[in-house]
């Protein structure tokens, strides 16, 4: 599903116009981005939670040259599915 399909589906389910839905989605993503920049955890009841984690620096070996390289620390966004969401996926049949 791409962005346009998501907006179409949301507008059908909410009764908002596609323009209103697109604005709502953009503002939601903007708010989420601000919270992630502040290193906050964002939890959506029944869906899951997003958390910004810091990966420590580490040593790695370049596969072609064999040189050891130091990978600097970085921030990554992690998602943990909520219980309700996990149960919905678990109940799906492989052919659905």
CA 59 to chain centre: 27
Give yes or no: residues 21 and 54 share one domain: no
- Residue 90 sits at the vertex; the CA angle it makes with 79 and 49, to the nearest 5 degrees, is 20
Give yes or no: residues 82 and 58 share one domain: yes
Cα(51)–Cα(41) distance, integer angstroms: 5
pLDDT in 10s for each residue of the chain, 96 residues: 999 999 999 999 999 999 999 999 999 999 999 999 999 999 998 889 999 999 999 999 999 999 999 999 999 999 999 988 888 888 876 665
Question: Which uninterrupted H or E stretch holds 5?
Answer: helix 3-14
> pTM of the prediction?
0.71
- Residues whose CB is less than 8 angstroms from the CB of residue 58 and which lie 6 or more positions away in sequence, other chains included: 70, 71
Cα(43)–Cα(49) distance, integer angstroms: 4
Give yes or no: residues 26 and 58 share one domain: no
CATH of the domain at 83: 4.10.520.10
């Amino acid at each position: 599903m791409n962005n346009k399909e998501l907006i179409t589906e949301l507008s059908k389910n909410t009764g908002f116009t596609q323009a209103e839905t697109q604005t709502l989605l953009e503002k939601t993503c903007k708010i989420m981005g601000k919270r992630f920049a502040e290193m906050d955890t964002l939890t959506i009841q029944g869906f899951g939670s997003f958390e910004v984690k810091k990966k420590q620096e580490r040593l790695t070996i370049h596969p072609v040259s064999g040189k050891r390289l130091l990978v600097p620390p970085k921030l990554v966004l992690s998602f943990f599915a909520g219980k309700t969401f996990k149960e919905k996926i678990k109940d799906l049949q492989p052919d659905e």
